[in-house]
Structure 1
Amino acid sequence: MKNIYILLISFFLLMNCSSKEEETYVPIPYNLKIPQLFADKLIAPIIPTNNPLTKEGVALGKKLFFDKILSGNSTQSCATCHDPKIAFTDNRPFSDGIDGSFGNRNSMPLFNLAWNFDELFTWDGKEFSLEKQAFEPVTNPIEMHANWTVVAKKLQEHSEYPVLFLQAFGTSTIDSTLVTKAIAQFERTIISGNSKFDKFLKGETTLTTEEQNGFDVFMDEARGDCFHCHGSNNNPLWTDNKFHNNGLDATFSDLGLGAITGDPADNGKFRSPSLRNLAFTAPYMHDGRFATLEEVINHYSIGLKPSSTIDPLMKKVNEGGVNLSTKDKADLKAFLLSLSDLEFINNQDFQEK
């Protein structure tokens, strides 16, 4: 009987200590490394009040991002389709899931997500918030094809994760909400802001004649007319983060935003991707149909297709496009490549250790 009392007292003391540890642990705030150009040109990034950035949360999110434990058969991680060495994409028209299934969308690059001010993510805007975006691929049958209950159980039984969740969130009880919060924290730290063109804007380098003319083409409404959707020297995101029908098709097998809103006026509209890091992120467009930048530029030059929802910004659709000269096409490509950030794809903060 005495031994039973001792065991009971020890149990209650252990539970009390564990409870106090979970109640009192305070993670360390994480200071986001914001490029000066972003600070000068943009409002502060969006950080949800219910998921503030912490060093422990970001570190946990990074570990989860690279861990194949999140997939149904432990063969794929988030990084499988979002490789940091190629600006967090995978260089295939369509990513394949753990069962060998293919979707109909290209894997979007991931960077500067904390400045997506409308908080709508993916090509068609179906996910509101990074946390919700991180939730869906785990269960998607053509992606990681897992079950969140099973994933949480695997993480709970892991030798490291319960302690890491305790440090990040003050509890060692793991569920999908905390997993996606951690991944979203890491994703908000993924920032690209030191391309050659960024350095030019900071006065650290000069552009070639071709790059300068390419920028002029980009900004000229009579020639490239690209800046309305894709930003400018005054918008270092190089996207408006809005949804447009850019004349890819006359009819739509993929409705894009229209499938989400149910509004026929949104059919064929997809998010404008950032023009940063194009040197690493081929193929291009939501369905990866263009293998090269030359093909992309030719589309806007001579390949626009009219439809009922064509964006008004495609002002020369009836002429097939903006009809750039051969030189302007080459120079525009040179400028676009100057937006690629070698420091970003080699940043060890974003690489698997």
Structure 2
Amino acid sequence: MLRVFLTITAAALIAAAWIIWDRTRGPVSTPIADFSAPFIFGRFAVPPDNPLTEEAFSLGRHLFYDPILSGNNQVACASCHVQALAFTDGLAKSPSLSGGELGFSSMSLANLLWGQERFFWDGRAASLEEQALLPIQHPDEMDQDLDALIGELQTSRAYRKMFRRAYGEVSADNIARALSTFMRMLISSDSKYDKYLRGEERLTAQEEHGRKLFMAHPDTKVSLRGGNCIDCHSQFLTSGFRDALDGFSNNGLDSDEDLPDGLMAVTGNPAHKGFFKVPTLRNIAVTAPYMHDGRFETLEDVMDHYNDGIVVSDTLSPLILEADNAPQAGQQTVGLRMTPEEIDAIIAFLHTLTDDAFLTNPQFSDPFEGGT
């Protein structure tokens, strides 16, 4: 009996010591299991003070789906970024808490490890960590005071444990780090196009025609027809280019009189007036409506714009102005002037960018619904 008592007592002491140690120890750093990044997407950088860990990802996933991040506890990040829609919301402009609409369409969150290093349509955030906190505090988006949010999170035993394991403490910086880690892991690289690149699938004749048009800048001197897409949408990522502000462009939506500030509001440079971030075309078939203000409802509308609907303004991208498949001059409109068959082919190719695995990946889903 004494031996049994001593055994139970020792076990209890060990358990108690483990609890105390777990509460006082520093963060746990478990690298993301089986993490690999497609090499064709190019280089990427992760902040040294926010490495990709399982603990940070789990915390970020919970925060992303939790309406506790909003002042009224009713709006989560996932309210405007829905997984089945490639983390957009299917609206021209997201709803405002004060009624009406926000100024911009909800952007897809796919492949944020790559591409431009400035975020939002107008580039107002210089890092994902900065981007993560802005909607939380914006009065028309989530309207949450960060100190109040920290207080709410600290009352949750589950969140205290997750923060302790991921970063050590509940803080605004660590909220931003966790959300950024989750968003950095939203990698879409298993579409039909990706499988084609890996030699696992073949494109149809129409899709292949569309791919070639997508990659080509038209040159009538050598009878090269093209859709000019790659001039702004980098080849494999299909998002804007990384260098400097190359990932922002004026793509001919408005005249000088109606041109919104766009990137100029951030840089103060008049040459950036009407510049907006070039979005990824990954999963583009499920992210309608299109453009920064959601003005185009379908891919056909988008192609019509580039084909003969370009509006000339002082800061219009010369890559767009010079792209024309017709040899004769004197046309009344500026655009690609492609045939209906060529337009259909490009749209067919764009559909090969849909990644069903990404849209349904349980690791990116709402952890509160699945109990994980």
TM-score by length of 1: 0.89
Q: Using the alignment, how far apart are the partners of 1:20 and 1:352 within structure 2?
A: 27
1:22 corresponding residue in structure 2: 24
Q: Using the alignment, how far apart are the partners of 2:88 and 2:343 within structure 1?
A: 25
How far residue 29 of structure 1 moved from its aligned partner, in angstroms, is 2.1
Unaligned runs of 5+ in 1: 1-13
How far residue 22 of structure 1 moved from its aligned partner, in angstroms, is 3.3
How far residue 287 of structure 1 moved from its aligned partner, in angstroms, is 0.6
2:241 corresponding residue in structure 1: 240
1:141 aligns with 2:142: no
1:298 corresponding residue in structure 2: 304
How do 1:1-353 residues align onto structure 2 when only pairs under 5 Å count?
Answer: 21-31=23-33, 33-35=35-37, 38-43=38-43, 45-116=44-115, 118-171=116-169, 174-222=170-218, 223-232=226-235, 235-241=236-242, 242-251=247-256, 252-314=258-320, 315-316=322-323, 319-353=333-367
| Aligned-partner SS, 2:286 | coil
How far residue 335 of structure 1 moved from its aligned partner, in angstroms, is 0.6
**Given that residues 119 and 128 in structure 2 are in contact (C-alpha distance below 8 angstroms), is that contact kept between their aligned partners in structure 1?**
yes
Structure 1 residues 279 and 352: CA distance shift in structure 2, 3 A? same
How far residue 34 of structure 1 moved from its aligned partner, in angstroms, is 2.7
Structure 1 residues 327 and 176: CA distance shift in structure 2, 3 A? same
How far residue 239 of structure 1 moved from its aligned partner, in angstroms, is 3.5
**Given that residues 91 and 282 in structure 1 are in contact (C-alpha distance below 8 angstroms), is that contact kept between their aligned partners in structure 2?**
yes
Instruction: Return the letter of the residue paired with 1:236.
Output: L
Instruction: Return the letter of the residue paired with 2:251.
Output: N
| Aligned-partner SS, 2:283 | coil
How far residue 27 of structure 1 moved from its aligned partner, in angstroms, is 2.6
Q: CA RMSD in A?
A: 1.9
Q: Using the alignment, how far apart are the partners of 1:253 and 1:146 within structure 2?
A: 32
| Aligned-partner SS, 2:84 | helix
| Aligned-partner SS, 1:191 | coil
How far residue 164 of structure 1 moved from its aligned partner, in angstroms, is 1.1
Q: Using the alignment, how far apart are the partners of 2:285 and 2:335 within structure 1?
A: 24
**Given that residues 240 and 277 in structure 2 are in contact (C-alpha distance below 8 angstroms), is that contact kept between their aligned partners in structure 1?**
no
How far residue 295 of structure 1 moved from its aligned partner, in angstroms, is 0.4
Unaligned runs of 5+ in 2: 1-15, 219-225, 325-330, 368-372
How far residue 82 of structure 1 moved from its aligned partner, in angstroms, is 0.5
Name the count of aligned residue pairs.
330
Q: Using the alignment, how far apart are the partners of 2:317 and 2:259 within structure 1?
A: 18
Q: Using the alignment, how far apart are the partners of 1:73 and 1:165 within structure 2?
A: 22
TM-score by length of 2: 0.84
Q: Using the alignment, how far apart are the partners of 1:203 and 1:48 within structure 2?
A: 33
Instruction: Return the letter of the residue paired with 2:336.
Output: V
Deviations 1:148-171 (A, max 9, x none): 111111111123111111111123
